[in-house]
């Protein structure tokens, strides 16, 4: 008996994904931690702790063209992570889909890749560092 494969919209090959010709498809595991790499530290925070995020303009911009224009704040259960850079809106979809595994800060602009975010600085703080009673 000849097996018939469905060619509905969801099963058609695309430029992003090669056609699947087997009977079992193994996908890469999703990361369980996000790594934030700075010059002095490597922070690993469980992805499941991400509570919400805020994307906006960098309030610390000093008017120079070399100052990062974007600020992305990630609120985890135990930490707040501040990412400064350019085109950080491009991180949002992968972040919401749980596909961001590592964020590396590059202070000095190198070869900017069009269509990719660039993080120049990462600041990590305890979420509840200062509680006034």
Would you write out the chain's pLDDT as a tens digit for each of its 133 residues? 444 444 444 555 555 666 766 777 677 788 899 999 998 999 999 999 999 999 999 998 877 777 899 999 999 999 999 999 999 999 999 999 999 999 999 877 666 667 889 999 999 999 876 555 5
Give the separation between CA 96 and CA 1, rounded to whole angstroms: 43
Tokens 């699947």 found at: 20
Instruction: Check residue 115 and give its pLDDT.
Output: 80
Beta strands in 13-131 (DSSP E): 33-37, 42-46, 50-57, 70-76, 79-86, 102-104, 118-126
Give the separation between CA 6 and CA 40, rounded to whole angstroms: 52
Residue ranges covered by each domain of the chain: 39-126
Instruction: Check residue 23 and give its pLDDT.
Output: 75
Instruction: Check residue 4 and give its pLDDT.
Output: 47
Tally of CB atoms within 10 A around 47: 17
Instruction: Check residue 76 and give its pLDDT.
Output: 96
Give the separation between CA 93 and CA 35, rounded to whole angstroms: 17
User: Is 73 in contact with 81 (CB distance < 8 Å)?
Assistant: yes
Token reading at 66: 């070399």
């Amino acid at each position: 008996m000849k097996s018939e494969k469905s060619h509905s919209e969801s099963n058609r090959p695309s430029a992003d994904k090669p056609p699947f010709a087997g009977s079992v498809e193994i996908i890469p595991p999703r990361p369980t931690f996000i790594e934030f790499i700075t010059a002095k530290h490597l922070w690993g925070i469980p992805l499941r702790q991400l509570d919400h995020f805020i994307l906006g303009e960098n309030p610390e911009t000093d008017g120079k063209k070399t100052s990062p224009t974007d600020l992305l704040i990630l609120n985890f259960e135990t930490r707040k992570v501040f990412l400064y850079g350019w085109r950080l809106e491009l991180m949002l979809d992968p972040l919401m889909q749980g596909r961001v595994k590592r964020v590396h800060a590059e202070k000095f602009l190198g070869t900017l890749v069009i269509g990719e975010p660039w993080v120049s600085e990462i600041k990590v703080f305890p979420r509840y560092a200062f509680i006034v009673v």
